[in-house]
């Protein structure tokens, strides 16, 4: 959308929200771990590790004879991840590093497999991050990327015109790379990965309050009003329609996550 600077509004969410989202995407996460094809003694990398939700899970796959490395741009997330690793008793083989996904502080071919989950949507240059993930993975290793396609997120409401305008703000403004999900397969193929596989995962939400808690609703609506995408009156109607659906136990929202995996030749 023209006239709105995405850099002003793109951002990350806190650890508590990530915990809630992780519980809702548990099947997707388990599958992304399996696609890495890790074995005891392997070295694994999680790019955009957040508070260590996945690094702790990967620790079980590689065992104490292996190693798990988590990388995140947010220093507070790294501190939280380290604390959780210590609490879980895996700090001897799980480490977290404050670094940029586009400049991983690891040598070539350092890990057996790597993953990134709900990170590419936030990146202004996801191609660079993918190139780095491939660089640090050894030949024959698997690269796994999971991301939503924000353009598929939709809510059942009679206020369809308002919903569609807000959907565009979500995909085109609130995220640097809001259409990431649909782009992942092409990105892996362009970077020369082999045996590229794609698996879709629908996200269904029937609890309006929970969705407002973990999603970007408040920020989305504020941006839309600030830039005249919707009016204050339309925002009121929007809220009323969603609350009515919740009160009548028929609230429904759906979106699509995409998981892709490819092997480094």
Would the pLDDT of 7 be above 70? no
Task: With a cut of 80, say whether residue 10 has pLDDT above it.
Answer: no
State both tokens at 104. 């991983």
pTM of the model as a whole: 0.90
Averaged pLDDT of the chain: 92
Is residue 4 predicted with pLDDT exceeding 60?
A: no
Q: 1 pLDDT exceeds 90?
A: no
Neighbouring residues of 107: CB distance < 8 A, sequence distance ≥ 6: 136
pLDDT tens, position by position, 75-109: 999 999 999 999 999 999 999 999 999 999 999 99
Q: Is 134 helix (H, G, I), strand (E, B) or coil?
A: helix
Question: Which sequence spans correspond to the domains of the chain?
Answer: 6-153+176-204+254-263
Provide the CATH number for the domain formed by 6-153+176-204+254-263 in this structure.
3.40.50.150
117-147 pLDDT tens trace = 999 999 999 999 999 999 999 999 999 999 9
pLDDT at 26: 82
Say yes or no to pLDDT of 36 above 80.
yes
For 74, 105, 119, 148, 177, the CA distances from 11, given in Å and listed in that order, are 11, 23, 11, 15, 12
* Res. 158: pLDDT tops 50: yes
Strand (E) or helix (H) holding 17:
helix 15-24
* % the chain with pLDDT above 70: 91
Over residues 11-18, mean pLDDT: 56
From first CA to last CA, the distance across the chain in angstroms is: 39
Report CA 217 to chain centroid distance, whole Å. Answer: 17
């Amino acid at each position: 959308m023209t006239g709105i600077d995405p850099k002003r509004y793109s951002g990350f969410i806190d650890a508590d929200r990530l915990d809630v989202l992780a519980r809702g995407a548990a099947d997707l996460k388990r599958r992304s771990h399996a696609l890495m094809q890790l074995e005891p003694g392997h070295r694994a990398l999680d790019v955009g590790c957040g508070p260590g939700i996945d690094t702790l899970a990967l620790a079980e796959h590689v065992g104490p004879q292996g190693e798990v490395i988590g990388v995140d741009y947010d220093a507070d997330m790294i501190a939280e991840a380290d604390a959780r690793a210590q609490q879980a008793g895996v700090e001897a083989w799980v480490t977290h590093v404050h670094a940029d996904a586009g400049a991983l502080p690891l040598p070539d071919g350092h890990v057996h497999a790597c993953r990134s989950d709900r990170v590419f949507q936030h990146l202004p240059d996801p191609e660079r991050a993918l190139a780095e993930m491939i660089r640090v993975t050894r030949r024959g290793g698997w690269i796994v990327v999971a991301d939503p396609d924000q353009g598929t997120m939709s809510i059942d409401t009679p206020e369809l015109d308002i919903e569609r305008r807000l959907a565009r703000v979500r995909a085109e403004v609130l995220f640097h790379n809001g259409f990431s999900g649909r782009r992942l397969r092409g990105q892996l193929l362009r970077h020369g990965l082999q045996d590229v596989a794609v698996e879709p995962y629908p996200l269904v939400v029937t609890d309006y309050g929970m969705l407002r808690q973990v999603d970007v609703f408040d920020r989305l609506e504020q941006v839309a009003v600030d830039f005249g995408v919707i009016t204050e009156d339309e925002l009121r109607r929007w809220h009323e329609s969603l609350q009515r659906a919740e009160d009548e136990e028929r609230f429904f929202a759906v979106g699509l996550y995409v998981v892709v995996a490819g092997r480094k030749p």
